[in-house]
Structure 1
């Protein structure tokens, strides 16, 4: 699966270079905003999700290139630094000596995200969709409650590549400032059980 997404990314990169070489308008810009992210767990224990992942708020920021393909269509590749904060709750530990059988924590993932969005413009409003590739560069887990006391959580050997599909909508207030809402659904099963989910809301500014 990863080879397929790498092949798609290579094809898109070649397409971008081809578009840039044509007589089309190109704009560069920056963007930033908040994300609301979680994970979808496919593992079930006694008919219930093995881990209850909860949506928490983080942020993203980065740069973009906007290629005008025609009067209605645009291609916009982006490079984003994303911090996703994900709540974790596990209820079901069986330890008669523990004060609680509940484990809670917040997992923070820092990624380099590479969305490549195809946009269709309707006056100031636009809709967009495209693939998004992510590379995990840091991951940590802040434990809030642990039935086994203070134990170090190891996040070694976790998958560092993510990929999926993004779709969104936006509105240009001025020629250079845009409000953008986007949803990302990971299509790769990370760590053999989870898929990424993220809602982004932020602003774009074109130079």
Structure 2
């Protein structure tokens, strides 16, 4: 199912490219500062951010002087840490993410990006560290976390020159990723889990 959705998004991106007046390709990389929104939080401690990375390719399709469509295929590492008095619970997730966003060019340098993103879980783990016994236990995240996550990306960019662009983006999770009906992991089955992360990025566009 998730591969079908991913293929559909890729097909839509190719369709948009046929209307483009100008096409740019590049590579993108940077840092992720991520967390997980848990609702209801109940007795869980407040989550601490996990620092990860993103890396992949970018295609920018110019539709007009002011409006572009930007597509990205990125590897993203995200998660969160929940530290209590006796233990630490860490969620470490790796996604393959496909973005299709509208990009509004305010002027020659500044732009605003807004669009949907689909994230396919490729791996990860739930790690529990017992502070008292000084022991760790790891569980496969695929057993407790949904494989497909939909999110909304909102950000701003600044193009230094024709080849280099810097950006910051907030990615808001729309999917309840809790897939642990029998509560073998960290979370109760009634707790909604939604990813959140901030990206600090640099894009290098090829000539």
Give the secondary structure class of the aligned counterpart of 2:26: strand
Q: What TM-score does the superposition give when structure 1 sets the normalisation length?
A: 0.82
**How far, CA to CA, are the matches of 1:14 and 1:145 in structure 2?**
47
- Deviation per CA, 1:42-74: give whole Å up to 9, x if none: 1343xxx53532112111100011100100001
Q: 1:153 to 1:43 in 2, by over 3 A?
A: farther
For residues 12-42 of structure 1, the C-alpha deviation after alignment (integer angstroms, 9 at most, x for no partner) is: 5444323322352111110000010000001
Checking the alignment, whether the CA contact within 8 Å between 1:41 and 1:51 is kept in structure 2 is no
Backbone CA RMSD of aligned residues: 2.4
- The separation in 2 between residues aligned to 1:14 and 1:135, in whole angstroms, is 17
Change (3 A) 1:189 1:157: same
Contact preservation (8 Å) 1:141, 1:153: yes
- Provide the rounded CA distance (Å) in 2 between the counterparts of 1:142 and 1:44: 19
Alignment of 1:32-47 (within 5 A): 32-45=29-42
1:122 aligns with 2:106: yes
Alpha-carbon separation, structure 1, partners of 2:128 and 2:150: 27
> What CA distance in whole angstroms lies between the structure 1 residues aligned with 2:151 and 2:131?
33
Q: Report the counterpart of residue 153 of structure 1 in structure 2.
A: 138
Please say which of residues 171-180 and 51-60 is displaced more in the overlay. 51-60
**What's the counterpart of residue 170 of structure 1?**
157
Q: CA deviation at 1:112?
A: 0.5
Shift of residue 147 of structure 1? 5.2
Q: Does 1:140 align with 2:137?
A: no
Please point out which of 46, 67, 70 is paired with 1:73. Answer: 67
1:197 matched to 2:201: no
Over 3 Å counting, the alpha-carbon distance change for 1:145 and 1:74 in structure 2 is: same
Distance in 2 between residues matched to 1:80 and 1:136, nearest whole Å = 12
Runs of 5+ consecutive residues of structure 1 not aligned to the other structure? 92-100
Out of 79, 86, 111, the residue aligned to residue 95 of structure 2 is: 111
Three-state SS of the structure 1 residue aligned to 2:138 is coil
Once the two structures are superposed, residues 87-123 of structure 1 have per-residue CA deviations (whole angstroms, 9 ceiling, x without a partner) of 122x4xxxxxxxxx52213322111011111100012
User: Which runs of structure 2 are paired with 1:43-62 in the superposition (5 Å)?
Assistant: 43-45=40-42, 49-62=43-56
More moved, 187-196 vs 177-186: 187-196
Counterparts of 1:115 and 1:204 in 2: how far apart (Å)? 15
